[in-house]
């Protein structure tokens, strides 16, 4: 079973349209969609926004639906000026920028018992690179910073970028990464850029959400065809 997870309905809607037929199951106040695609069994869901929602949904997909791999699809805001709206980027590692116990002498993003940066699965990343090459797409890679805040302020963006050397910022990825890492499930996180580093995130996001989400979703389904 392969799990495909997004944060919002818009991020999984293109996938549901592509698989066409699916069974809907309600559990833990959420909806999970079971489907078959390219000879693979899929469980598809959107978690709702935020780290807690994403962690709950990822855990259910693994523990209840027995997902052995997890692919995350969605959109994110650029921190690096080299990323433009519509660009695709997969995470090499992810961190939580809003974890802060620096009062006890620890670095930002750290709490005892977990590492600051959680690495994604190298085999899935290689499949993504092969998929991009075959589709003639430019696929970038970098560090994703996650936090329970929609980051609009330029000063906050710069702080996250400087502190963690992060390339994009969003609200779910690192929590999913922690769940998968602790449960021993290989995972992959893909983000399409919906707002640029120098732009007004609150304005760019709504305008480019649907188109960017579709780019990410179509790419993930192309990866499923190789699994």
Q: Are 191 and 166 in contact (CB under 8 A)?
A: no
pLDDT of residue 83: 87
Q: Which residue has the tokens 């974890």?
A: 99
In the chain, where the domains are located: 2-224
Give per-10-residue mean pLDDT for the chain (227 aa).
Answer: 93 89 96 95 97 98 98 90 88 97 95 94 97 92 95 89 95 97 97 70 55 78 91
* Residues ≥6 apart with Cβ < 8 Å to 40: 2, 224, 227
- Residue 169: strand, helix, or coil: strand
Active site residue 11: yes
Q: pTM to 2 decimals?
A: 0.91
In the DSSP assignment, the letter for residue 29 is T
pLDDT of residue 74: 87
Long-range contacts of 98-102 (CB under 8 A, 24+ apart): 98/146, 98/147, 98/148, 98/149
CA distance 62 to 3: 8
pLDDT of residue 75: 86
Active site residue 195: yes
- Name the active-site residue from 87, 121, 170, 195: 195
- Name the active-site residue from 11, 87, 170, 196: 11
What are phi and psi for residue 156, nearest 5 degrees? -70, -40
pLDDT of residue 207: 57
Strand partners, 15: none
Q: What is the mean pLDDT of the chain?
A: 91
Q: Pick the closest to residue 150 from 140, 142, 160 (CA basis).
A: 160
pLDDT of residue 86: 83
pLDDT of residue 193: 86
What are phi and psi for residue 217, nearest 5 degrees? -65, -45
CA distance 51 to 176: 8
Fold category of 2-224 in CATH: Rossmann fold (3.40.50)
Strand partners, 5: 45, 72
pLDDT of residue 61: 98
């Amino acid at each position: 079973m392969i799990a495909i997870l997004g944060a919002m309905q818009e991020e999984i809607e293109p996938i549901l349209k592509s698989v066409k037929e699916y069974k809907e199951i309600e559990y833990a106040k959420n909806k999970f969609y079971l489907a078959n695609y390219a000879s693979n069994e899929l469980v598809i869901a959107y978690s709702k926004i935020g780290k807690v929602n994403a962690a709950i949904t990822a855990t259910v997909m693994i523990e209840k639906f027995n997902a052995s791999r997890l692919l995350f699809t969605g959109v994110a805001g650029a921190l690096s000026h080299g990323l433009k709206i519509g660009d695709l980027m997969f995470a090499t590692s992810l961190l939580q920028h809003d974890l802060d116990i620096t009062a006890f002498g620890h670095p930002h993003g750290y709490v005892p018992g977990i590492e600051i940066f959680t690495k994604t699965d190298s085999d899935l990343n290689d499949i993504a690179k092969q998929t991009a090459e075959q589709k003639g797409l430019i696929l970038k890679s970098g560090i994703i910073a996650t936090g329970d805040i929609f980051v609009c302020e330029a000063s906050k963006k710069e702080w996250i970028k400087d502190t963690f050397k992060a390339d994009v910022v969003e609200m779910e990825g690192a929590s999913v990464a922690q769940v998968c890492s602790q449960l021993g499930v290989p995972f992959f996180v893909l983000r399409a850029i919906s707002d640029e580093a120098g732009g007004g995130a609150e304005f760019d996001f709504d305008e480019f959400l649907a188109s960017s989400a579709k780019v990410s979703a179509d790419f993930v389904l192309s990866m499923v065809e190789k699994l």
